Each structure stands twice: as C-alpha cells, then as structure tokens.
Amino acid sequence: MVVLDHVTMEYPTGTKALDNVSFRIKKGEFVFIVGSSGSGKTTLIKLLLKEIKPTDGEITVDDRVYSKMKRKEVPMLRRKIGVVFQNFRLLKDRTVFENVAFAQQVIEKPANEIRREVPGTLTMVGLADKYKQFPKELSGGEQQRVALARAIVNQPDIILADEPTGNLDPKNSLEIMTLLEEINKRGTTVVVVTHNKDIVNLMQKRVITLKKGKVISDEEKGGYKDED
C-alpha cells in the first residue's frame, strides 16, 4: 500500500513541483501517472524512492512512514522498490549482463544466484542475445529494456517506471506494457509514468493525472486526459 497524504514538494529554487497531493495505491494495483512535462511526475518518483524529502505531508509505503525512517532503513525500503529511471541511468562501462547483475550485486546476492537469475530476466525483456553488448551499442529501446530488466530482477513488491516506453515504437511499447502487466498479475504493484496516450487509452487501468503539481483527476479504467 502506497499512501501520499497532502504531499507538497517545493525545490530550493522555489518551484512547487507537487502541491498538496494525496492518493493511495493498493497492493497489486496497476496505475498510470500522466501529465504534461514539468507537472511533477519524476518528482513523485523521487519522493517514493526517498531520494528527496517532501517539504510538507507524509508518505507511507506498507508500514514505513517516511518521515520517521532512519537512514539505515532506507536501503531496505529501496530493495522493495524496482525503478526504471527516465533516462535509463545504465552504467556505460558495463555490459547488458553486468548492468542487470549490478542490481543484484548491490543487494549482496551470492554470485551463483546472480548467474542463475540474470539470463531469465534478460530473456523476459527480449535481450537474451545481447547480453555481452555495452549500452552504447544498443538502440534506445533496447537500453530501456535493460533498465526494465534491472528494475525487475530482484522481484520487488513495487515497480516505479518513469517513461518506460519513451523511446519505443508502438509495437515495442505495447510489448513492454504487456510485460509490466504480466508482472503486475503476479502481485507486484506497478506505477507507470507515461506520455503514451494510445497505450493508456488501450489498457484501461487507473489513471492519475497531474497538472502543475496538482492531481486534477484520478479515475479507474480511465483514459488519457488531454490538456485544456
């Protein structure tokens, strides 16, 4: 269960990226977050990862109250959350395999488990044959799949995906979304930030729409709200 309770995020520059946002996402839900550029979507993800602290309000994930968490507890929180960053954030000096394995090394998984689990994940995202390549040798869409593989390899309870289809053609976008839907069906909570109107309309999931940091609509089986 993810709960945002009157959350406001004002950056030191004075920009109010989120303004009094409240919603809850139940365990196992699939939610789209949509909104125009600068509406605060990435800020929302950063808050959920506890990368930044809200200036006001409270965030709770499962039983963890963010403002009450100790520094030491943060890594364990983040291990429950798999994240696909907006600009992938792959390691340029590591291969596809190493990039995915990295997520497991970081949480101190034994090497033999890593060797066993990474290939399966790469197969899931359709990159089994490119495991030796470096990020710069991949297309944008392929890089995005590596980022997704890295997010799901540890089987987190929650997946946060920031524009996971930003660089993909409709066919590949649908494939990635179908994959996320499959992961969701196995019980993982999935939160997808996207601009992809067609897919949002097609998939008929809950849609939270942000505008200038405010929630302007929150609908079950919603569609993409055009601006104005």
Partner 1 sequence: MKISTLGYSIKQGLKNIRRNLLFSLASVGTMVACLFLFGVFYSIVLNMEHEIDDIQNSLVVSVFFNEGYNDEQIMQVGNEIKKLENINSVNYISADVAWNGYVEDVYQGDAEYVESVFGDDNPLENSSSYEITLKDISRQDITVKQLEAITGVRKVNSSKETAQGWIDVSTLVGYVSLGIILILLFVSLFLISNTITIGIAVRKEEIAIMKLIGAKDIFVRAPFLFEGVFIGLLGSLIPLVIMYFVYNAMTGYLTQHFALVSNMIEFVPVGEVFKWMAPCSVLIGVGVGFFGSLITTHKHLKV
- Got the DSSP string for 154-169? T--SEEEEESTTTT--
Task: Tell me: does residue 195 bind partner 1 (CB under 8 A).
Answer: no
Selected binder of partner 1 within 14, 63, 108, 226 (CB under 8 A): 108
Selected binder of ligand ATP within 86, 95, 133, 172 (CB under 6 A): 86
Selected binder of partner 1 within 49, 69, 124, 174 (CB under 8 A): 49
Locate the DSSP E strands across the chain.
2-10, 16-25, 30-34, 56-61, 64-65, 81-84, 158-162, 189-193, 206-211, 214-219
Question: Residue 38 has which token pair?
Answer: 């600068």
Task: Tell me: does residue 87 bind ligand ATP (CB under 6 A).
Answer: no
CB atoms near residue 108 (< 10 Å)? 6
Question: Residue 94 has which token pair?
Answer: 């590591």
Q: How far is the CB of 117 from Mg ion (least distance, A)?
A: 29
Question: Residue 197 has which token pair?
Answer: 């109107």
Task: Tell me: does residue 64 bind partner 1 (CB under 8 A).
Answer: no
- Asked whether the beta carbons of 35 and 211 are under 8 A apart, the reply is yes
Task: Tell me: does residue 73 bind partner 1 (CB under 8 A).
Answer: no
Task: Tell me: does residue 126 bind ligand ATP (CB under 6 A).
Answer: no
- x/- string (CB under 5 A) for Mg ion, residues 25-44? ----------------xx--
Residue 87 or 217 with smaller CB distance to partner 1? 87
Task: Tell me: does residue 107 bind partner 1 (CB under 8 A).
Answer: yes
Task: Tell me: does residue 130 bind ligand ATP (CB under 6 A).
Answer: no
Q: How far is CA 68 from CA 57, 64, 73, 165, in A?
A: 12, 8, 10, 35
- x/- string (CB under 6 A) for ligand ATP, residues 34-53? -x-xxxxxxx----------
Task: Tell me: does residue 184 bind ligand ATP (CB under 6 A).
Answer: no
C-alpha 117/C-alpha 111 separation (Å) is: 10
Binding interface with Mg ion (CB under 5 A):
41-42, 86
Binding interface with ligand ATP (CB under 6 A):
11, 13, 15, 17, 35, 37-43, 86
